[in-house]
Amino acid sequence: MYAVIRSGGKQYRVAPGDVIKVESLPQARANERVQFEVLAVNAEDGGLKSPKGTTVVGQVLDNGRHDKILVFHFKRKKQYKRLRGHRQPFTQVRISEITVDGQRFAAPELPVKVKKEKPVKAEPAAAAEAHEEPKAAPAKKAAARKPAAKKPAAKPAAKKSAGKPAGKKKH
């Protein structure tokens, strides 16, 4: 089951539970419900139906901006270069339900995240007294350094021949 909707001059194929990023919706706040214009609906039997009596409802999750794109204008031989950046705003929407001819196809509810609390350790009375009077930390010992590894002995230089100078060999 899916529907084709229009938002911001673009068309989206959506099913219940889908999360889509549409062009920024004016005055759309988080957890607000939004209805979309329906263009076509695909029923369970596999054919497209007319959108009469069909509604697509979504829940706004977030508003944001896409990654920056760089727009570079250049005219050759004129020393004209312009570099501009642009970030397109969007609204992130989760499709919560599609209603077709009285049938309602709803998305499963999002699981509620439960925050796990860290257990607080009870401090004994002796430890509480230690916090009041800070003790000096024991001095750290200097790390023992290892002696540097010895380098292998250098090879003796090759003797130069006193004969003919090195050059091209004739064949």
Q: What is the pLDDT of residues 7-51, one digit of tens each?
A: 999 999 999 999 999 999 988 888 899 999 999 998 767 778 778
What's the pLDDT tens digit per position in 61-78?
999 999 999 999 999 999
pLDDT of residue 160: 64
Contacts of 80 (CB under 8 A, 6+ apart): 73, 74
User: Mean pLDDT across the stretch 91-114?
Assistant: 87
Contacts of 1 (CB under 8 A, 6+ apart): 15, 16, 42, 43, 44, 98, 100, 105
Look at 155 and 95; give whichever has higher pLDDT.
95
C-beta of residue 69 within 8 angstroms of C-beta of residue 85: yes
Look at 30 and 112; give whichever has higher pLDDT.
30
pLDDT of residue 51: 81
Which among 74, 77, 27, 36 is positioned nearest to 54, based on CA atoms?
36
Q: Is the pTM of this model over 0.95?
A: no
Q: Which residue type, as a one-letter code, is found at position 148?
A: A
Instruction: Give the DSSP per-residue string, 81-133.
Output: EEEEEE--EEEEEEEEEEEETTEEEEPPPPPPPPPPPPPPPPPPHHHHHHHHS
pLDDT of residue 161: 63
Cα–Cα dist 25/92, whole Å: 9
User: In which band, very low, low, confident or very high, does the pLDDT at 147 lie, cut at 50, 70 and 90?
Assistant: confident
Cα–Cα dist 94/107, whole Å: 9
Evaluate if residue 127 carries a pLDDT over 60.
no
28: DSSP letter: -
- The three-state secondary structure class of 23 is strand
